[in-house]
Amino acid sequence: MTKKQERELAFKQAALKSAPKSLNALEHDWPEFSALARTRMVRGIPVYGDATFKKSLDAILVDIEEELLDWANYSFMAWCRVRETRNLIRSKVGEMKKCQSPNTTNSTVARKARRPRR
Are the beta carbons of 32 and 38 closer than 8 angstroms? no
pTM above 0.75, yes or no: no
**CA gap 48, 63 in Å, rounded:** 14
pLDDT in the model for residue 103: 58
pLDDT in the model for residue 46: 96
Query: Which whole number is the average pLDDT over 27-37?
Result: 93
Query: Which whole number is the average pLDDT over 22-46?
Result: 92
Give the dihedral of Cα atoms 49, 53, 55, 57; nearest 10 deg: 150
Tell me: the pLDDT tens digits for 54-103? 999 999 999 999 999 999 999 999 999 999 999 999 998 988 888 876 65
